[in-house]
């Protein structure tokens, strides 16, 4: 039974796994869960994801949630498809990948998501203008996280967990790009981050634009709106 993948490309961890599955050519069945139509809130989706979120997988009856855990699982369950560099078997190299993946939850993911939600998503859903104090707070957190990616995680390294691309970079790039949908230019005055993004693009190739199709469309509209203000 082919792996079923439940996702919506508006969600950053959904994009990371989509990218990984396409890049490694693990065969999978696309099961889009349209967040815009609240498909994740339908009662039957609870059998797939008890918290009714995306992404999730069903691998021949083995159901899993939590994107970071799913990425690790896929590396172990599909060794014929997954080259060692994505999640190195070496204990210390693997630890470096894990270290970033645990750090990102409360930092770039938390602040980047909250910035996007408060600046773009909530105003869109409610028709009310953004609450500026919340936007400012999450923007400050986002900028600190971007500073730390540049000065700590990318210090003396080409990629987030060393000198080769890993699953940390795939999740990293999807989280870093999330605020661009709300019109925020994460690469402005950030030479280290920009260089890393080029490195990731160089390794991933056209699959990156494929995963970012929805994001790039929304980001372009937000940039036009920003320019009009």
**Which residues form the interface with a second copy (CB under 8 A)?**
50-51, 62, 64-69, 72-73, 76-77, 91-92, 94-95, 98-99, 101-103, 105-106, 110, 148, 152
CB of 224 to a second copy, least distance (A): 32
CB of 30 to a second copy, least distance (A): 21
List, in order, residues 6 or more apart from 94 with CB less than 8 Å away: 87, 88
User: For a second copy, which is the closer residue by CB, 62 or 213?
Assistant: 62
CB of 82 to a second copy, least distance (A): 12
CB of 68 to a second copy, least distance (A): 5
| Cα–Cα distance, 45 to 200 (Å, whole number) | 34
* Of the candidates 61, 94, 225, 108, the residue with the CA atom closest to the CA atom of residue 167: 94
User: For a second copy, which is the closer residue by CB, 73 or 187?
Assistant: 73
| Cα–Cα distance, 115 to 120 (Å, whole number) | 8
User: For a second copy, which is the closer residue by CB, 145 or 208?
Assistant: 145
Dihedral, 181, 111, 57, 124 alpha carbons, nearest 10? -40
User: For a second copy, which is the closer residue by CB, 96 or 119?
Assistant: 96
User: For a second copy, which is the closer residue by CB, 42 or 147?
Assistant: 147
CB of 201 to a second copy, least distance (A): 26
CB of 152 to a second copy, least distance (A): 5
User: For a second copy, which is the closer residue by CB, 110 or 187?
Assistant: 110
Count Cβ atoms below 10 Å from residue 166 Cβ, excluding itself: 25
Q: What is the DSSP string of 82-147?
A: S-GGGS-SSHHHHHHHHHHHHHHIIIIIHHHHHHHIIIIIHHHHH-SPP-HHHHHHHHHHHHHHHH
Q: What is the DSSP letter of 152?
A: I
User: For a second copy, which is the closer residue by CB, 92 or 228?
Assistant: 92
Count Cβ atoms below 10 Å from residue 220 Cβ, excluding itself: 12
190 CA to centre of own chain: 19
Q: What is the DSSP letter of 34?
A: -
| Cα–Cα distance, 168 to 180 (Å, whole number) | 20
CB of 62 to a second copy, least distance (A): 6
């Amino acid at each position: 039974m082919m792996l079923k993948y439940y996702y919506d490309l508006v969600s950053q961890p959904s994009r990371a796994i989509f990218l990984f599955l396409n890049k490694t050519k693990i065969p999978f069945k696309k099961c889009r869960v349209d967040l815009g139509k609240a498909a994740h809130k339908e009662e039957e989706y609870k059998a797939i994801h008890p918290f009714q979120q995306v992404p999730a997988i069903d691998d021949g009856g083995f159901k899993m949630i939590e994107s970071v855990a799913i990425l690790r699982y896929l590396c172990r369950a599909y060794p014929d498809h997954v080259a060692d560099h994505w999640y190195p078997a070496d204990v210390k190299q693997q630890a470096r990948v894990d270290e970033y993946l645990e750090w990102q939850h409360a930092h770039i993911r938390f602040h980047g998501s909250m910035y996007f939600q408060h600046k773009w998503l909530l105003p869109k859903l409610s028709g009310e203008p953004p609450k500026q104090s919340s936007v400012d707070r999450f923007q400050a957190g986002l900028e600190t996280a971007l500073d730390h990616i540049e000065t700590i995680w990318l210090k003396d390294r080409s990629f987030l967990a060393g000198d080769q691309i890993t699953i940390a970079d795939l999740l990293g790039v999807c989280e870093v790009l999330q605020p661009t949908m709300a019109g925020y230019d994460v690469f402005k005055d950030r030479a280290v981050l920009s260089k890393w993004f080029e490195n990731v693009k160089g390794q991933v190739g056209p699959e990156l634009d494929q995963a970012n199709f929805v994001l790039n469309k929304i980001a372009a509209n937000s940039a036009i709106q920003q320019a009009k203000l």
